[in-house]
A and B are shown apart, each in its own frame.
Chain A
Amino acid sequence: MLALLAGRGSHPGSAAARLITPGDVKRAKVSVAQLSEIKSRNGARRTTTAEQARTRDVLHAAVEQFSDRFGAAVDLAFEDADGTRVALLSLIPRRKERRTAAAKPPATSTPEDVGSTPTGRGSFLRGSSLPCYAEPMDPVIEAYKKGIDRTLLRENLKLTVEQRLRNLMELQKLADELHRAGAGKRR
């Protein structure tokens, strides 16, 4: 990973460099740290609140997203160096491992293991037997989907377009009023 990031400095315009940035690495580290904190806070407790479970899901998804992008960047950067590519891709913990041991050092895996994508959604490009991750955002989106209030959406879908826009205008006015009230309080 460090080699990849170092190479990014020399070739900032490359596709691989655009796929993964030091900011991504930083965010992934924060997510892993937060996951570890949740895990240590919960200790032996088996139950978690819905909010904790959702936070954990989103953090797991963020780590998965980073791993997917890392995989895609490695795939692009080391297209002609199969040995390096396989070695780097083997650093990516597979989905199950990430869910159960996100904070542990990555488990080593064989090149055969690498052939299956962590999200199960990877597509195979350039005839390679190695994965290229086509939809790196999906784990995060799926995690967010769980928190969506579908009853609200169903109610909205019963309305006409104009009614939906009128509701939006009412919401905007309410937001304005709250904003003004908050600003007045701060003065």
Chain B
Amino acid sequence: MSVDYARFFQALCGAGVEFILVGGTAANVHGSARLTQDVDVVYRRTRENAARLVSALGPFSPYLRGAPPGLPFRWDAETIWNGLNFTLTTSLGPVDALGEIAGGGGYDQLLPHSIEIEAFGQRMRCLDLPKLIAVKRAAGRPKDLEVIAELEALAEEADR
């Protein structure tokens, strides 16, 4: 599964969604050479932003990833407000829309630790490298250990 980043960012930025790029894609933004197959964003938990997120991804058939087909899943602001983290399939590729991440909190907590980036003609926020490392460390998953090593190596290279 691949992600159409150009259209994804165009959709979110075009709808004015407040979000921060996190996870594997953020690691790639910082120079990681690892493959990630989805895009993770932390969206701001306000009702207005939930509505913007709905209108941004709505045209791309969002559905719960891994769920059997035919479930009565409705992609609307109420669903987002009543939930928190959504792992979705979309026609743009797999998308994780997260209200919070372990070790980092929500959008407002992460915002001071984000940087502005530009890609595909869009400006957006991306988690900075130190926080990305801190979040991966906080998650404490064995599979992240190698990722942390690469991110730390990237930080060392960037400081050279």
Instruction: Show the binding face of A for B, using Cβ within 8 Å.
Output: 137, 140-142, 144-145, 148-150, 152-154, 156-157, 159-162, 164-165, 167-169, 171-173, 175-176
Instruction: Show the binding face of B for A, using Cβ within 8 Å.
Output: 1-5, 25, 28-29, 31-33, 35-37, 93, 117-120, 137, 140, 145-146, 148-150, 152-154, 157-158
From B25, B120, B152, B154, contact of A168 by CB (8 A): B25
From A142, A161, A173, contact of B29 by CB (8 A): A161
* A164 proximity list for chain B (CB < 8 A): 28-29, 31
Please judge, given known A-B contacts A137-B137, A148-B150, A172-B35, whether A157 and B158 are in contact too, CB under 8 Å. Answer: yes
* B149 proximity list for chain A (CB < 8 A): 141-142, 144-145, 148
Q: How far is the CA of A156 from the CA of B36 in the complex (A)?
A: 15
Given contacts A148-B150, A153-B31, 12 further A-B contacts (CB under 8 A): A141-B149, A144-B150, A148-B153, A153-B157, A156-B31, A157-B154, A161-B29, A165-B119, A165-B120, A168-B36, A169-B3, A172-B1
Contact (Cβ within 8 A) B2 A172? yes
- The 5 tightest CB contacts between A and B, nearest first, are A172-B2, A144-B149, A156-B31, A162-B119, A145-B149
Contact (Cβ within 8 A) A165 B29? yes
Name the distance in Å between A171's Cβ and chain B's nearest Cβ: 5
* A156 proximity list for chain B (CB < 8 A): 31-33
Closest to B144 in A: A137
* A157 proximity list for chain B (CB < 8 A): 31, 154, 157-158
* B146 proximity list for chain A (CB < 8 A): 144
* A160 proximity list for chain B (CB < 8 A): 119
Name the distance in Å between B9's Cβ and chain A's nearest Cβ: 9
13 contacts between A and B (CB under 8 A): A141-B149, A141-B152, A144-B145, A144-B150, A148-B149, A150-B157, A153-B157, A157-B31, A161-B117, A161-B119, A164-B28, A169-B2, A172-B37
